[in-house]
Amino acid sequence: MEMKKAIWIVVATSVSVVALGYSALTKASASRSNKKVVKISYWHVNAQTQGGQSVETLVKDFNRTHKYIKVTAKYNPNMYQGLMQNLQSAQASGKVPDVVQIGWAYTNYFADNFKYLAPANAQKKFDTKKSFINTTFTKHTLSFAEDDKRNLVGLPYSLSTPVLYYNKTMLSKYGVDPQTLSTWEGVSAAAKKIKEASGNYGLYIQEPGDTWAQQSLILSNGGSIEKKGKASFASSAGVKAYQFYQDMVNKDKTALHTPWAQGVDDFVNGNVAIAYTTVAQASHIKQSVNFDVAASVAPHFEGHKSVVPVGGSMLTITARSITQQKAAWTFEKYMYTNNSLVTWSKGTGYLPPTKSALKSEAFKSYLTENPMLKPASSQLTTAVAWTSFPKSGLDAEQTMIDARDKILSGSDVKSTLKDAQEKINAQQ
């Protein structure tokens, strides 16, 4: 009798354990099935000719490997200026994106005018280990994403410098030695030689919705864009650099004045011999040309050294809810894996911002196969931060764009720069 009782106790206990186990599994299964997918949006500026396909590839791979997060990418035309204008409207409506590329020219403006989750706070909230930021980036690279109060606003993502692309086939045909292109005076002489011999333009300097390339001309003539929070580009050095540029466009007619996309098209189609534009165009140029092409470091004016502002963007988190902020941080960390960054570099020409990706065998191999990236890579360690005006940043950038366009259309260089500088400083 006692034996039967013992057996029944064992059976009953086993059934209870099984039932409890089944109940736990059922609850876990239900929990998984009830777990909602967090949807976040990612705003970027990458057209198909500048990494758009790579954005799609990265987002698709992230969504495939992260079951409970879905990222939707949105392209914003007119580069970072266009994105900032759209972001302004989004904030006014209360419907903001969750992760945003912010161009360096708008770092201070973004920090002062938009709600965002600082990287250090995201790391503190969502990471068990609090070392991701400092172990992933160098201090120099992080400094590009700091505002004027030295606060880290976002994480550096796309890094670029301007480089000088040249049509080796055309230069060889008309007897131009690429070694002479190390100075702007040498570039001008080469452009004249090519124009006289072929009728083709010798030079195109990029003209997107920013003055990044033109700022590098001023810096490489010993000038400055800003001093102590005030615009300073209308100095003697700034006027001389812009006068040199205007003369090539209007007087000598050796340089082309046209929108960015058209100018790059003219270069890849063989209508312009030399193009001064971002290394982020390297992949597009390599895939599009039918001539021998190469790139060299940014030129400088005689008696001065080459100084280039870093181009590209940082990734910022503008998500409002904690759930979406956590998903946004997860997405950002995915974007900084070596595989993601090398994919990004291959699709654009941008340089990886992290220590490990720069040292990875995959990137080193890619650099060997794509020597047009090497000039930009060599300039990165000495590149300076892109000038960012804290107040009325959008207006300040537009004022500089307007000044550039007026000068290239024939306006007096000195008075145009002076007026632009005074207008910006009145707003600071």
Q: Report pLDDT digits (tens) over 144-193.
A: 999 999 999 999 999 999 999 999 999 999 999 999 999 999 999 999 99
Q: Please say if the pLDDT value at position 11 is more than 60.
A: no
Q: What SS3 class is residue 370? A: coil
Cβ 123 vs Cβ 132: under 8 Å: yes
What is the pLDDT confidence band of residue 15, given thresholds at 50, 70 and 90? very low
Question: What mean pLDDT comes out for the span 24-40?
Answer: 64
Comparing CA positions, the residue from 383, 385, 386, 211 lying closest to residue 308 is 383
Kindly provide the b/e burial profile for residues 264-273, where b requires at least 16 CB atoms within 10 angstroms of the residue's own CB: bbbbbeebbb
pTM of the model: 0.84
State the average pLDDT for the chain: 92
pLDDT for residue 13:
45
What whole-number distance in Å separates Cα of residue 70 and Cα of residue 52?
18
Please state which CATH number belongs to domain 38-159+312-379: 3.40.190.10
283 vs 255: which has the higher pLDDT: 255
Q: Please say if the pLDDT value at position 117 is more than 90.
A: yes
Please state which CATH number belongs to domain 162-308+391-427: 3.40.190.10
Question: What mean pLDDT comes out for the span 281-299?
Answer: 96
Query: Are 38-159+312-379 and 162-308+391-427 equal in CATH topology?
Result: yes
- β-strand 272-278 against 162-167: which pairing, if any? antiparallel
What is the pLDDT confidence band of residue 349, given thresholds at 50, 70 and 90? confident
Sign of CA dihedral 127, 131, 133, 135: negative
Question: What mean pLDDT comes out for the span 111-122?
Answer: 97
Domain ranges of the chain: 38-159+312-379, 162-308+391-427
> In one letter, which amino acid is 379?
Q
Q: Please say if the pLDDT value at position 25 is more than 80.
A: no
What whole-number distance in Å separates Cα of residue 13 and Cα of residue 222?
86
pLDDT for residue 20:
42
Question: To which residue do tokens 């969504």 refer?
Answer: 63
What whole-number distance in Å separates Cα of residue 328 and Cα of residue 318?
9
What whole-number distance in Å separates Cα of residue 15 and Cα of residue 20?
8
> Could you tell me the end-to-end alpha-carbon distance of the chain, in angstroms, rounded to an integer?
95
pLDDT for residue 285:
95
pLDDT for residue 212:
95
Q: Please say if the pLDDT value at position 405 is more than 50.
A: yes
Q: Which two tokens stand for residue 358?
A: 């720069």
What is the length of the chain? 428
Question: What mean pLDDT comes out for the span 390-401?
Answer: 89
Q: Please say if the pLDDT value at position 428 is more than 60.
A: yes
34 vs 380: which has the higher pLDDT: 380
pLDDT for residue 344:
95
Cβ 388 vs Cβ 419: under 8 Å: no
- β-strand 293-296 against 155-160: which pairing, if any? unpaired
Question: What mean pLDDT comes out for the span 110-131?
Answer: 95
What is the pLDDT confidence band of residue 33, given thresholds at 50, 70 and 90? low
